[in-house]
Amino acid sequence: MGTLRFIEGNLGVIIQLTLQHISIVGVAVGFAILTGVPIGIAITQSRRAADAVLYVASIIMTIPSIALFGVMIPVLSLIGQGIGYLPAVIAVLLYSQLPIIRNTYTAITNVDPALREAARGMGMTPLQRLRRVEIPLAVPVIMAGVRTAVVINIGVTAIAAYIGAGGLGVLISRGISQTDVRQLVTGAIAVSLLAIVADYLLLWAQNGLTPRGVKV
């Protein structure tokens, strides 16, 4: 049909938009891991800190993405980056915090207390316990959080097209404004496929990173 011919004819553009899309999500989630995992570990020390941080992170998730992008504009205009790549990355980073922080926190607090006691009683310092026992055991759950963040944000990034960040959302937004069904369908299918493929690849990575003794 028309859509298939459209795809055939515009493959180069579609690939370029896909790469832009991946770049936004990849960079943002990458940074989100670097901030989220340490925060998740830190809040295991204090119940009150944990409650506060998780509360804030979940509030951020409730903000509709278009509104969050909208807020970025005036804020980042101050440094001349109101629209485009940076606000998209920052918004996705913020959205990724909750799954990653919460999964890290949950994974570490759910480590069997007997293991903690054994580690303490044998003479591990808290840092050694984290490094040798708690984090290796938490990896599968943290990776599950990363997967959640990536899959959600592949969808959210489709909206970033509206603030000029590019990505596959461009096809969808143009498809809407130009009433062009071919672009719309191409964009929608591409985003969905990207999410599915990303999920599979990250599942493979999750299994690779899970310690052998912990694999089901």
Report CA-CA distances (Å) from 20 to 120, 166, 168, 177.
47, 6, 8, 21
Q: Which stretch binds another protein (CB under 8 A): 70-78, 118-126, 147-155, 186-194?
A: 118-126
**119-146 as b/e: b if 16+ CB within 10 A:** beeeebeeeebbeebbbebbbbbbbbbb
Q: Is 212 in the site for another protein (CB under 8 A)?
A: yes
Alpha helices by DSSP H, listed for 125-212, are: 126-129, 135-160, 169-177, 181-209
CB 165, min distance to another protein, A: 40
Q: Is 114 in the site for another protein (CB under 8 A)?
A: yes
CB 211, min distance to another protein, A: 4
Contacts with another protein by CB under 8 A: the residue count is 21
Position among 119, 150, 154, 158 found at the interface with another protein (CB under 8 A): 119
The nearer residue to another protein, 1 or 114, going by C-beta atoms, is 114
CA 183 – CA 61 distance, rounded (Å): 29
CB 107, min distance to another protein, A: 12
Q: Is 208 in the site for another protein (CB under 8 A)?
A: no
Q: Which stretch binds another protein (CB under 8 A): 45-53, 131-139, 152-160, 162-170?
A: 131-139
Footprint of another protein on residues 84-113 (CB under 8 A)?
112
CB 110, min distance to another protein, A: 13
Give the H or E element holding residue 12. Answer: helix 11-42
CA 173 – CA 40 distance, rounded (Å): 36
Tokens for 114? 């007997």
Chain residues that interact with another protein, rule: CB under 8 A: 112, 114-115, 117-125, 128, 132-133, 136-137, 211-214
